[in-house]
Structure 1
Amino acid sequence: MASQPGPLTQWPWQRLGNFKYLILAPWVAHSMYKFVSINNGHEKYLFNFSIFPTLLLRLLLGQLWISISRYHTAKNKHKIVDKSLDFDQVDRERNWDDQIILTALLYYIANLVLPGVANMPWWNIKGVVITILLHMGPVEFIYYWLHRALHHHFLYSRYHSHHHASIVTEPITSVIHPFAEEVAYFLLFAIPLLTIALTQTPSIVAAVGYLIYIDFMNYLGHCNFELVPKWFFDIFPPLKYLMYTPSFHSLHHTKFRTNYSLFMPFYDYIYGTYDVSSDELYERSIKGSNEEESPDVVHLTHLTTLQSIFHLRLAFASLASKPYTSKLYLSLATPVALVSALLTQIFAKTFTLEKNRLQKLQMETWAVPRYKFQYKSSTERDVINSLIEKAILDAEEKGAKVISLGLLNQGDELNGYGEFYIRKNPNLKTKIVDGTSLAVAVVLHSVPESTKNVLLIGKFSKTSYFLSLALCQREVQVEVVQKELYKLLKLQLPSELQKHLVLSDSYTTSKIWLVGDGVGAQEQSKAPKGVHFIPFSQFPLKTLRKDCTYHSTPALVVPEEYENLHSCENWLPRRVISAWRAAGIIHALEGWNAHECGEAVIGVETAWRAAITHGFLPFPFDEGCKIYREN
C-alpha cells in the first residue's frame, strides 16, 4: 500500500485471490465459440481468439524474467543494487499479473466496440509505423510529465510510493502500482492503439507486439542486473537517448528525483533530470566483478519432490515465499517437472539458490540437482557423491570456511555423514559440518524439562545415538520398541548410562515420541491420544493423527540482522532455517577449526550456547531463550 492510500487504490478483484482469473472465463468461452462457429471468414474473429493466448504468453515472459533476474543476482557479477530483499516486498508484488488481466479485459471490450478491430489483419505496416511514432512522441512525453507529477508529495503519498517501496527492484516491480495509477498508464498506452483503430490501420502484430514491447522494457529496467552490452552504444551512440538500461532506471529507485523517462532517456536530457552518475554506474555494472564474491559459508541442499522445482527461489516467487506444501494445481505442470528432472539428470551441475548476509558473514545455498527419490537409488550413489565432492572442492576454491550438508547429502549409507570426503581429501581446509550437535540440542530443548521418559523410534543414525546419549546423561529414561535399534544404541552407549535405555513392549507408556526416519502410519496408529511427535529427522513426519501434536523438524529462527531471506526453506515458515543449515553458520561465526562429520561432534551444549549467543532462537519461539541470550 501507499503511505496514505488514495481513492481506487485497491484492484476491483483483490478479494478474489487466485479466483480472479474466473473474470475472464465468459470472455474466453465467447471468443472460442465465435472462432469455431464461423466456417467462412474465420479470420474475422482471429484477434478476439488471440487475446487469451497473448495473456498466457505475457504470464510466461514475466515468469521467465523473474527466474533470469534471480539467477543473475544470485551470481552477483553484474548486480546493480546489492541490498537485502525481504518477504514484505515479495508479498507486495504478488499481484503482478493484475495488469495482464486488466489488459485482456480491455482488449475484449475494444474488440466489441471499436470499428475495424474485430477483423484486423495480421500485419499492416502503416499501423506499425504509427504505433512506433506515437510511442516515441506523445506517449514518452506525457509519461515523463505524469511520472514527475506522481513524485509530487500529494500523489506520491497516495499512489506512487507503493511502487517505490521497492529499492531493490525485480522485473515485476515495474508493474506494481495502485489500480488508479495503472489505469492512468493504460490510458496513456492506449493512444497508439486507439489511433491505429480509428485510422483503420490496426493489425494483430501491432496490438500484441506493443504489449510485449512494453513488458520487455519494463522488466528490463527493473531486473537489477546490467545486461545491455556496451557495443550497442558504440555502434550507434544516439541509442543512449532512445533506450534506457537497468542501471539507468535503478538510479530512479535509489535517488527518486532523477531519470524519470519511460524507456527513452531523451526527455531527461532535455529537461535536466538526467542523473550524472548514470554512465558511471552503467560502466561499473556492465563490467561487473572480475572475481565472484567469496562465500564464508555454503549450505548444500537438494531438490525433494518433483513439485519442489516450482518452489525454488529461482522459480515462482509467491510459492518460494511460503512453506512447501503439495498443491493439486501444480500437478497440471507435471510434464514441465518431468522435463526439468530429465535436464538435471543430463546437465548435472550444482547451482546457487540464494545469497545471504549475517554480520560480516557471506552465505550461499547451493543445490545438488537431484531429487529425494534419487538419493534412495544405489545406482545414483556414485554420481551424487561426485556432485557433493565437487561442490565441497568448489567451495574451498572460492575460499569458504564451512560447508554444511543439508537433507540427504549427509546420509550414513551415502557418505558416512560426510567422512567419505575427508578421507578422500585429507588436506581439506573447508570444514564439513553435518550439524548433529545443534540438531540434537534443538530436539532436547523441545522436550519439556519435567519429562521422565521418552519413546525413541525410527532408524538408527548418528543423531539418534547422540540424542539418546544426551537424554541418558540427564537421567531421562529412553524407551525403545525396536529390538535392532535397541541393540545398536546399547552397543555404543557407555556402560554406566545403559540403565537409562529400556527395551519396551508398549507404545503407550510415554506422551513424548522422538521420531527418526522410517516411521509411518502403522507406528503412528499405535500412539495414545495426546502424544507429542518430535522429529529428529531431516524430513517431517506425515500428519495423520488429529488427536496428537506434531512438532517441526529441528529448526531455528534466524536473527533480525539476517539479510536477503525472502524464500522459505522447504516446509519451514518464514525466517526459520533448519538446525543443520544454522550449524554451518554458527561454526563459521565461532571460528571452530574442526570438522563435524563422520563420528565427530562439536558438543550439544557448546552448539546450543553459541546459537543463542549469536541471536538464533528455537522454533517454535521460546521467550526464555531470548532472555537467556540477552543476559
Structure 2
Amino acid sequence: MASKPGIFTEWPWQKLGSFKYVVLIPWVAESLYSYTTKGEGERDLSNVLIFPFLLWRFLHNQIWISLSRFQTARSKHTIVHKGIEFEQVDREGNWDDQILLNGTFLYLSSKFLPGASHLPFWRIDGLIITILLHAGPVEFLYYWLHRALHHHYLYNRYHSHHHSSIVTEPITSVIHPFVENLTYFVLFTIPLMTLSLSGTLSIVALAGYETYIDFMNNLGHCNFEIVPNRLFQIFPPLKYIMYTPSYHSLHHTQFRTNLALFMPIYDYIYGTVDKSSDSLYETSHKGKAVIPHVVHLTHLTTLHSIYHLRLGFASFASKPYVSSKWYLWMIWPLTWASMLLTSIFGSTFTVEMNRLDRVKMQTWAIPRNSFQYSLSWQRAAINSLIEKAILEAEAGGVKVISLGLLNQGEELNRNGEYYLQKHPKLKLRIVDGTALAVAVVLYSIPLGTKQVLLRGKLSKTGYAVALALCHKGIQVITVRRDEFEKLKLLFPAKMGSHLVLCSSYNTEIWLVGDGLTEEEQRRAPKGTRFIPFSQFPPKKVRKDCLYYTTPALKIPKALENIHSCENWLPRRVMSAWRVGGIIHALEGWDAHECGDKMLDIEEVWNAALQHGFLPVAHV
C-alpha cells in the first residue's frame, strides 16, 4: 500500500480474492453465445477474440516474469544487485487486475462504442495513426502525469505503492492503486478511441498496441540489460525513442529522474534525464560474471512442481508446495510435454541466486522428477547430469556443491561417493549435509526421551541418527529384523543393548524415513510425534498426532534474495542438507562429506547457530 493510501486505492473486486475472475464470465459467455447463434454475416470475430487476447496477455507477462527471474539468477547483466523479499511478491501478486480491467472495458467498448465492433483484421492507416498518437499525446501527457504523481501529496497517497519496489520485476510495471491504473488506462486508450471513432480501428492495431505496451512495460522493469548496443550504433536517435531496462531502473533508485514512459526524448527536452543513464547502460550491458561459492543441486519433485519453482508462478513459489492446484490439471498436456522435452533435451538450469555475508550461492536444478529417480533405466542419465553439473561447477570456480533431495541417493550414486571416486582430484567439495540433518533430528527429540521407534526406509541420515541416539543412551526400537541386523553390525558391541527388536508400536516418538505407510501411522498411539529424517515428508493421516517438518533450519535475516519457498518448507526456512553446504563454505572446511564420510555433528550444529541459522518450530 501507499504510505498514506488515498481514495479509490483498492480494486473493486479486491474482496473477491481468487474469485475475481467471475467479473469476466458474463462477458465471455455473452460473446460466445452471440458468435455461435448469429448468422455468418452478423458474427463479430473481433468480439470473440477478446478473451483469447486476454489469455495472451497473461502468457506474455508470465514469459517475462520467468525470463527475468532466470536471467537475474545467472546473468552477468543484472542491473540492481539487491534481493527481493516475500513482501514484494505479496504486494505484486495482483498484477492480473489490470488485465481484468482491460478486458471489461474491451467488452464494453465492443458493445457500446461506435466503430469498436466487427473490426477488420488489418488497416495500415490505423497503425500509422496509433504510432503518431502514442509518440505525441500519450507520451507527452504521461510524462507530465508522472511528474505530478511524484509531488509529495499524490506520491504519498498513490505512486509510492509502485516505488516500494526498488529492485523491480517485469510485473512491477503494473502494480499501482486502482485509480492510478485507471488513469493510465484512460491515457492509453487515446489512440484506440481515436481509431474507433474515426473508423480506422483494426484487430492488428488493437492487439499490437496493447502488446507493445505490455512488452515495453516488462522490458523496462526486468532488472537485466537486454537491449543490444549495436542497435544504438546502427541508429543513434533510437536512444531518444526507446528506453532500456537500465534507463528505467534509475527511476526506481533515484526517483526523480528518467520520468518518461517509453521514449526518453521528453526527459531530454525537460531536463529530467539522469546523468548516469549512459554509463549505467554500458556497465550493465558489459556485465560482470557471477561466480558463486556454493551451488545447491536439487531437482523437480512432482510434475506440477515446475510451476512452483522461483522461475514458475511467483505467487505459487512464495508459498509452501503442499499439493497441486486443481486448475493446474487443466494444462496437463503442457505439463507432460515439458517433462518429455526436458527429459530428452534438458540440462541443469539455474533456479536462484542468494548471498550471505561474503558467500554467494546458486541453486541449480536437474530437469528430472522424483519418480524418475526410482526408475533403474533413468539412473545413468541422471548420474550423467549430476556429474556434468559438478564438473561445470568445478570449472567455474565453485568451492562447494551440496546434493539435495534424491541427488545423493544410496542406490543412485552411493551418497555422492561415485563422483568423488571418478574424479578424485576435484578442488570443489561435495557435501551431502548429513551431519547437519542428523543434528536437526537429534535436537528435535524432546528432552527426557528414553526410547524412539525407527520406521521407514533407512538412509545414511537414519543410520547416523540411530547411532548418535545410542551414544546418548536412548533406546532405539525397530520392528524389522533385517534393519535390526544391519544396525547391529554398524554399532559397537558395548552399545548393542540400546538397539531393540520389538513388534510393538506404542512408543510416542517416531523417527521416520521414506515409505512410512498409512497403516503403520494408524497403529501409533494418540499424540505420537512423527519426526522425519527423510528428504520427503510423510503423508499426514492422523489429526491427533504431531508431524514435524523434514530436517530444516530458519535462515538468518542477512541471507538475501529469498522470496520463494523450498518445496514444502515454510518461508525463510531451508533444508538442513542445503544449509550444510552453506556452512561448509562459510567455515572454509576442506573435507568432502559424501559416501561414508560425515563431519562432526556437534561442530556443524554449533557453526550453523553461530552463523544465525535457528531451529524450526516443527509442529
**Are 1:438 and 1:583, in contact at CA under 8 Å, matched by a contact in 2?**
yes
Offset from partner CA, 1:256-279 (integer Å, 9 cap, x none): 110000010010000000111111
Q: Select which of 583, 586, 593 maps to 2:583.
A: 586
- The reply on whether 1:478 has 2:470 as its aligned counterpart is no
How many residues are aligned here? 618
Deviation at 1:455, TM superposition (A): 0.5
Corresponding residue for 1:323? 320
**Are 2:434 and 2:460, in contact at CA under 8 Å, matched by a contact in 1?**
yes
- Look up the SS of the partner of 2:331 in the other structure: helix
Query: After the TM superposition, which residues 506-521 of structure 1 pair with which residues of structure 2 at under 5 Å, given as runs?
Result: 506-508=504-506, 510-521=507-518
Query: After the TM superposition, which residues 198-217 of structure 1 pair with which residues of structure 2 at under 5 Å, given as runs?
Result: 198-217=197-216
Corresponding residue for 1:123? 122
Corresponding residue for 1:530? 527
Deviation at 1:330, TM superposition (A): 1.0
- Look up the SS of the partner of 2:530 in the other structure: strand
Corresponding residue for 2:454? 456
User: In structure 2, how many angstroms separate the alpha carbons of the residues matched to 1:37 and 1:380?
Assistant: 53
Query: After the TM superposition, which residues 92-107 of structure 1 pair with which residues of structure 2 at under 5 Å, given as runs?
Result: 92-107=91-106
- The reply on whether 1:19 has 2:4 as its aligned counterpart is no
Deviation at 1:589, TM superposition (A): 0.9
User: In structure 1, how many angstroms separate the alpha carbons of the residues matched to 2:385 and 2:46?
Assistant: 50
Which stretches of structure 1, 4 residues or more, deviate above 3 A after TM superposition? none
- Look up the SS of the partner of 2:557 in the other structure: coil
User: In structure 2, how many angstroms separate the alpha carbons of the residues matched to 1:89 and 1:297?
Assistant: 26
User: In structure 2, how many angstroms separate the alpha carbons of the residues matched to 1:174 and 1:325?
Assistant: 30
Tell me which amino acid in the other structure corresponds to 2:592.
H
- The reply on whether 1:265 has 2:264 as its aligned counterpart is yes
User: In structure 2, how many angstroms separate the alpha carbons of the residues matched to 1:560 and 1:147?
Assistant: 35
**Are 1:459 and 1:485, in contact at CA under 8 Å, matched by a contact in 2?**
no
Deviation at 1:218, TM superposition (A): 0.5
Corresponding residue for 1:500? 498
**Are 2:115 and 2:198, in contact at CA under 8 Å, matched by a contact in 1?**
no
Tell me which amino acid in the other structure corresponds to 1:263.
F
Corresponding residue for 1:347? 345
**Are 1:299 and 1:584, in contact at CA under 8 Å, matched by a contact in 2?**
yes
**Are 1:350 and 1:368, in contact at CA under 8 Å, matched by a contact in 2?**
yes
- The reply on whether 1:549 has 2:512 as its aligned counterpart is no
RMSD: 1.1
Offset from partner CA, 1:401-437 (integer Å, 9 cap, x none): 1111100011111111111111111111111111111
Tell me which amino acid in the other structure corresponds to 1:467.
V
Corresponding residue for 1:490? 488
- Look up the SS of the partner of 1:355 in the other structure: strand
**Are 1:460 and 1:488, in contact at CA under 8 Å, matched by a contact in 2?**
no
User: In structure 1, how many angstroms separate the alpha carbons of the residues matched to 2:192 and 2:68?
Assistant: 30
Corresponding residue for 1:397? 395
Deviation at 1:504, TM superposition (A): 0.8
Query: After the TM superposition, which residues 292-371 of structure 1 pair with which residues of structure 2 at under 5 Å, given as runs?
Result: 292-326=289-323, 327-371=325-369
Corresponding residue for 2:273? 274
Deviation at 1:126, TM superposition (A): 2.1
Tell me which amino acid in the other structure corresponds to 2:540.
T
Corresponding residue for 1:419? 417
Deviation at 1:224, TM superposition (A): 0.8
Corresponding residue for 2:142? 143
- The reply on whether 1:30 has 2:30 as its aligned counterpart is yes
- Look up the SS of the partner of 2:49 in the other structure: helix
User: In structure 1, how many angstroms separate the alpha carbons of the residues matched to 2:79 and 2:356?
Assistant: 20
- The reply on whether 1:252 has 2:251 as its aligned counterpart is yes
Query: After the TM superposition, which residues 433-452 of structure 1 pair with which residues of structure 2 at under 5 Å, given as runs?
Result: 433-452=431-450
- Look up the SS of the partner of 2:444 in the other structure: coil
- The reply on whether 1:612 has 2:597 as its aligned counterpart is no
Offset from partner CA, 1:110-168 (integer Å, 9 cap, x none): 11211121222222222222211111111100000000000011000100001011111
Tell me which amino acid in the other structure corresponds to 2:291.
S
- Look up the SS of the partner of 2:354 in the other structure: strand
User: In structure 2, how many angstroms separate the alpha carbons of the residues matched to 1:402 and 1:127?
Assistant: 59
Corresponding residue for 1:284? 283
Deviation at 1:354, TM superposition (A): 0.4
Corresponding residue for 2:8? 8
- Look up the SS of the partner of 1:596 in the other structure: coil
Tell me which amino acid in the other structure corresponds to 1:59.
F
- Look up the SS of the partner of 2:223 in the other structure: coil
Tell me which amino acid in the other structure corresponds to 1:87.
F
User: In structure 1, how many angstroms separate the alpha carbons of the residues matched to 2:259 and 2:618?
Assistant: 45
User: In structure 2, how many angstroms separate the alpha carbons of the residues matched to 1:42 and 1:183?
Assistant: 32
Offset from partner CA, 1:412-467 (integer Å, 9 cap, x none): 11111111111111111111111111111101111101111111112222111110
Offset from partner CA, 1:210-231 (integer Å, 9 cap, x none): 1111101101111111111112
**Are 2:250 and 2:274, in contact at CA under 8 Å, matched by a contact in 1?**
yes
- Look up the SS of the partner of 2:591 in the other structure: coil
Deviation at 1:621, TM superposition (A): 7.2
**Are 1:433 and 1:583, in contact at CA under 8 Å, matched by a contact in 2?**
yes
Tell me which amino acid in the other structure corresponds to 1:157.
N
User: In structure 2, how many angstroms separate the alpha carbons of the residues matched to 1:458 and 1:40?
Assistant: 66
User: In structure 1, how many angstroms separate the alpha carbons of the residues matched to 2:387 and 2:231?
Assistant: 42
User: In structure 1, how many angstroms separate the alpha carbons of the residues matched to 2:40 and 2:560?
Assistant: 61
Corresponding residue for 1:161? 160
User: In structure 2, how many angstroms separate the alpha carbons of the residues matched to 1:156 and 1:427?
Assistant: 59
**Are 2:431 and 2:594, in contact at CA under 8 Å, matched by a contact in 1?**
yes
User: In structure 1, how many angstroms separate the alpha carbons of the residues matched to 2:46 and 2:408?
Assistant: 56
- Look up the SS of the partner of 2:295 in the other structure: strand
- Look up the SS of the partner of 1:390 in the other structure: helix
Corresponding residue for 1:625? none
> Which ranges in structure 2 are unaligned for 5 or more consecutive residues?
none
- Look up the SS of the partner of 1:353 in the other structure: strand
Tell me which amino acid in the other structure corresponds to 1:122.
F
Q: Aligned pair in 2 of structure 1 residues 40, 428: CA closer, same or farther (>3 Å)?
A: closer
User: In structure 2, how many angstroms separate the alpha carbons of the residues matched to 1:119 and 1:594?
Assistant: 72
Q: Select which of 424, 427, 430 maps to 1:429.
A: 427
* Percent of matched pairs sharing the same residue: 63
Deviation at 1:76, TM superposition (A): 2.3
Tell me which amino acid in the other structure corresponds to 1:483.
R
Deviation at 1:209, TM superposition (A): 1.4
Deviation at 1:288, TM superposition (A): 2.0
User: In structure 1, how many angstroms separate the alpha carbons of the residues matched to 2:293 and 2:202?
Assistant: 56
Tell me the TM-score normalized by structure 2: 0.98
User: In structure 2, how many angstroms separate the alpha carbons of the residues matched to 1:245 and 1:63?
Assistant: 20
**Are 2:373 and 2:382, in contact at CA under 8 Å, matched by a contact in 1?**
yes
Tell me which amino acid in the other structure corresponds to 1:504.
C
Tell me which amino acid in the other structure corresponds to 1:63.
Q
User: In structure 1, how many angstroms separate the alpha carbons of the residues matched to 2:119 and 2:294?
Assistant: 58
Corresponding residue for 1:576? 573
User: In structure 1, how many angstroms separate the alpha carbons of the residues matched to 2:360 and 2:238?
Assistant: 38
Tell me which amino acid in the other structure corresponds to 1:269.
Y
- Look up the SS of the partner of 1:298 in the other structure: strand
User: In structure 1, how many angstroms separate the alpha carbons of the residues matched to 2:491 and 2:459?
Assistant: 13
- Look up the SS of the partner of 2:173 in the other structure: helix
- Look up the SS of the partner of 1:534 in the other structure: strand
Deviation at 1:612, TM superposition (A): 0.6
User: In structure 2, how many angstroms separate the alpha carbons of the residues matched to 1:12 and 1:247?
Assistant: 34
Deviation at 1:88, TM superposition (A): 0.7
**Are 1:453 and 1:476, in contact at CA under 8 Å, matched by a contact in 2?**
yes
Tell me which amino acid in the other structure corresponds to 1:18.
S
